[in-house]
Each structure stands twice: as C-alpha cells, then as structure tokens.
Amino acid sequence: MDVRILKSSFAVVERRAEHAVKYFYSHLFWHNPGLRELFPSSAEDMERQRDRLFAALTHVVTHLESGTLVPYLRDLGRDHRKFLVGPEHYAAVGTSLIAALAQTSGDAWTPAVEKAWYEAYQVIADTMTAGAADSDEPPWWDAEVVRHLQYGEDIGVLTLAPRTPLAYRPGQYVSVSSARVPTTWRTYSLANAPRPDGTVDLHVSRIDGGRLSTALVRDVLPGEVLRLGAPGGRLTLRREDRPLTLIAAGTGWAPVRALLEELLQHPPDHDVRLFVVARDAAHLYDRPLIDRHAAACRWLGVTYITPAPGQHRNQATDRLATALGNRALWREQDVYLSGPALFVEETSHVLRELGARPDRLFHDAVPVTGSQRPRPLGFGEWFLHRPAPHWHNPSARDPRG
Ligand SMILES: Cc1cc2nc3c(=O)[nH]c(=O)nc-3n(C[C@H](O)[C@H](O)[C@H](O)COP(=O)(O)OP(=O)(O)OC[C@H]3O[C@@H](n4cnc5c(N)ncnc54)[C@H](O)[C@@H]3O)c2cc1C
Ligand code: HEM
C-alpha cells in the first residue's frame, strides 16, 4: 500500500468526514438497494454505523504500518458474517467508498490517489474475506433462552443454551441480536465461567428508550432464540502471582462474576478484594451469592458501595474513591475494572493517583479523553474517540480473542 499517499489524502477527507460518510451510504443504497436491509432501519443506529465505518477507516489509515492491522481486519471480516455480509458485497462497498472519497477530496483527487485507494481497498477487502473464509467458527451462535429472571423493573438475567459450543474465557463479551429488534446488535458480557452444560448468563440493565435492552429485560421469553457473535474482550484473568482487586459497577458485575467463578474453581494464592458498586441496595441483586462466597473463602474480601439514601447515584463513585483510598499497596495489585465508560475512566484515574500501575489495570477499552489524549488528527479521530454513552468501545476487540 502507498502509505504516504493514503495518509495525506485521508487528511483531506477527514476534515469532511460526515459529508463523506453520508455520500458513501447514499451512493451504496442508491446503486444497491438490496443492501439496505442488511443495515439497521433506525436513523439513530445508522448514524452510529456511520461513525463506526469512519472510525474503522481511520483505524486502518492510522495503523497502516502496524502489525496489528491484519489481525484486526481478519477479525472484522469474520465478524461481518453475522451481519449476513458475503464476499460478493465487497466490490459494491469498494466502489461507493472510492466514489465518496473522490467526491469529498475535490482537486486533491488525482489518478495516483485513486490508484492508491483502489489498491488499498483490495488489500482490506481481501484480508477481511480471507478472515471470514478461514474461520472455523460459525458466523453466529443460535442460543435458546432457557431461563429469564427479572430483578426490579430494569434488570434481567437471561440464561442461554447455545446450540453449538461457544468457547470463551471468563470476562469476555459477545454481541447479541434478537429477532424482536432485527439487524440490531449490542454487546453483553458473559456472566459465568464456562459450565459443563454450556449455558451462559447475560445480565442486562434496561436503558430508558434502549431498543435491545428493553426487549431483553421486558419481552424476550424462554424458548426464544437469540443470536450471539464471537466472544471478545480483554478483561480476562492474567493469573500473575500478585494480589487482585476486582471492581464492578452496575451490570459491570457480569464479567466480574465470571472472573470470580474462575477464581473459585482455581483458588488464588493471594487475597482478592471485590468492590461492588450499585445505584441503590435494590440493584445489588447478587448480594446473597457474593455473601456466601465471602463467608466460604478466606481469600475473598467484599465491599459494597451504594449512595446514601436520597443521594444521586454519582455519590457511589465518590464513596468508592474514599474506600479505595483507605487501602494500601496499589502498586502491587492487579486490578480488573468493569462498568459504564465514565465509571471506568474515573476509577482508573483514582487508582493511578493512588499508585496503581497502568499496565496492571485491566478493563475493556474506554474512549480516551482530556489530557491523556494525543494531538487530535482531525474530525475522523473525533469520531474514533468520541465520548460514547455505551460503556467501553466495542470495536476494540482483543485480536487474540
Ligand atoms: C464491551 C461491552 C459490554 C457490555 N456489557 C453489558 C452488560 O453486561 N449488560 C448490560 O446491560 N449492558 C452492557 N453493555 C451495554 C450494551 O451493549 C448496550 O449499549 C445497552 O444495553 C443499550 O442498548 P440498547 O439497544 O438498549 O439502547 P440503544 O437503543 O442503543 O440506545 C437508546 C438510547 O440510550 C442511550 N444509551 C445507550 N446506552 C446507554 C447507557 N449505558 N447509559 C445511558 N444512555 C445510554 C443511547 O445513546 C440512545 O440515545 C456493554 C457494552 C459494551 C461495549
Ligand atoms: C472496508 C471494508 C469494511 C469495513 C472497514 C467495515 C467496517 C465496519 C465496522 C467497524 C462495523 C461495526 C462492527 C461492530 O459493531 O461489531 C461494521 C458493521 C457493519 N458492516 Fe461493515 N465494513 C466493511 C465492509 C462491509 C461490507 C462489504 C458490507 C456489506 C454490505 C458491510 C456491512 C456492514 C453491516 C450490515 C454492519 C452492521 C451495522 C450495524 O449493526 O449497525 N460492511 N462495518
């Protein structure tokens, strides 16, 4: 790939990213109306999809010389099978992408630039289709809902029985789709260590107006089948010879519960401290189970954090910061964190101030903000690191799976 030409021409397009992406989709759907039905029907989801496409392109252009690009694209191609994307679709997307780049670049679009993008797209598409073709995993896993528990109005715990075995590590997540909300995929953590019967639990917190979370908590019934994408994520136990701290907020408890189950199966040599943060006592829905483990395991210490009655839920984060500050030896610890993006970001900050080592703080990727942020490259990078209301950034899959 002609890296120099690609980077300089992308810098031009980046300044008009929104225009480029809108042009791309209009061109794609105008020339290939049949492709529209692969994409979500809601305008809001399409907007999100626009961001993701540009974020992916930005990722590609900024990682052209990095060794991680090929695994990223292979996984992306493998994952596109669940969107019903086949090799026959890549040419149409390539044509619309080149048309959008040309239209957006104006005078900067020269034959040399066109040649560089054309060749680059071939490499990208070939790498994605090879990742899809070489995968020995199914395009998605059909999983039957075998149990549906509800805690209060807004928390649902679903037990699913995948019809083909789903291999994963405790702490990982999958994307989930239901026929009740077609072409809508969202990410949920698997809330248990692998079981002999292969079932997995999802803990779903309903978001007001949220399409899939509302369907999963309120509507989905036992006997229905959900689709699951390939497991991913970085919140897996490193099992170093060091004390551990697990910190979970809200349904961020789900992957931490899976990690705890792994520790119960293979007890650690060091102490484990668990902090569970919830917006109120009613949301500590697994407290009886956690209390039983704490009573049975000498190595496990648990602290529950909720706001004082009548206080806003943000007070829980302040209380957590105080509780963390009362503990020592953060430099020695491995810390696993899970919860909404802002929670993860704020708590990581507190832990670093307390002396925790950044390379021993584990969580799924959160958008980078504020002073940690490198020099902005332009609008495309704003897309890439745009503060997301959706927990961590799902596009940041661990290429090792
Ligand atoms: C790696 C990862 C793991 C996740 N694990 C879990 C999990 O185990 N359990 C779980 O319940 N969720 C989890 N999520 C969040 C989940 O993927 C969905 O984002 C969430 O369920 C909302 O989807 P929805 O379709 O209901 O809402 P949408 O229809 O996508 O959103 C509706 C509206 O709500 C806003 N919104 C979306 N999410 C939030 C939010 N968290 N807070 C406030 N407003 C929001 C949107 O911007 C939009 O305006 C995880 C997310 C990631 C990235
Ligand atoms: C250069 C090649 C491509 C890149 C870089 C790319 C990038 C992406 C990314 C990053 C996502 C979000 C993935 C996720 O959330 O898990 C996505 C989703 C999607 N892509 Fe692609 N894609 C490419 C080619 C294609 C092709 C050829 C099609 C077929 C028409 C396609 C159709 C879709 C669909 C339907 C979705 C799901 C939309 C949604 O859930 O909102 N993509 N793509």
Determine the pLDDT at residue 256: 97
Token pair of 283 as six digits = 């949301």
pLDDT in tens, 279-326: 888 889 999 999 999 999 999 999 999 988 777 777 888 899 999 998
- For the chain, first and last CA: distance in Å? 27
Question: Is 3.40.50.80 the CATH classification of the domain at 244-365?
Answer: yes
Percent of the chain with pLDDT over 90: 67
pLDDT in tens, 129-142: 999 999 999 999 99
pLDDT at 393 over 50: no
pLDDT at 342 over 80: yes
Question: Which residue's CA lies nearest to atom 20 of ligand 2?
Answer: 80
Query: Looking at 42-51, 157-166, 177-186, 230-239, which range is the least confident one?
Result: 42-51
pLDDT at 396 over 70: no
Average pLDDT over residues 38-58: 77
141-228 to CATH, choices 2.40.30.10, 3.90.1150.10, 1.10.10.10, 3.30.70.1520? 2.40.30.10
Ligand 2 centroid from CA 121, angstroms:
14
What is the chain's alpha carbon radius of gyration, rounded to the nearest angstrom?
22
Ligand 1 centroid from CA 135, angstroms:
28
The CB of 46 under 6 Å from ligand 2? The reply is no
- Start-end ranges of CATH 1.10.490.10 in the chain? 3-134
Probe target for ligand 2 pocket from 61, 85, 96, 127, with the most ligand atoms within 8 Å of CB: 85
Determine the pLDDT at residue 167: 96
Q: Is 326 exposed, middle or buried (0-12, 13-18, 19+ CB in 10 A)?
A: exposed
Side by side, the strands of the sheet bearing 141-151 are 186-189, 173-178, 225-228, 141-151, 155-162, 200-205
CATH architecture of 3-134: Orthogonal Bundle (1.10)
Which one is predicted more confidently, 307 or 55?
307
75 vs 312: CA distance, rounded Å: 41
- Start-end ranges of CATH 3.40.50.80 in the chain? 244-365
Determine the pLDDT at residue 366: 58
Determine the pLDDT at residue 314: 75
pLDDT, averaged across the chain: 87
The CB of 394 under 6 Å from ligand 2? The reply is yes
pLDDT in tens, 7-35: 899 888 888 888 888 899 999 999 999 99
CB 132 within 8 A of CB 140: no
Ligand 2 centroid from CA 80, angstroms:
6
Dihedral sign for Cα atoms in the order 110, 111, 114, 119: negative
For residue 255, give the ligand 1 atom closest to its CA. Answer: 8
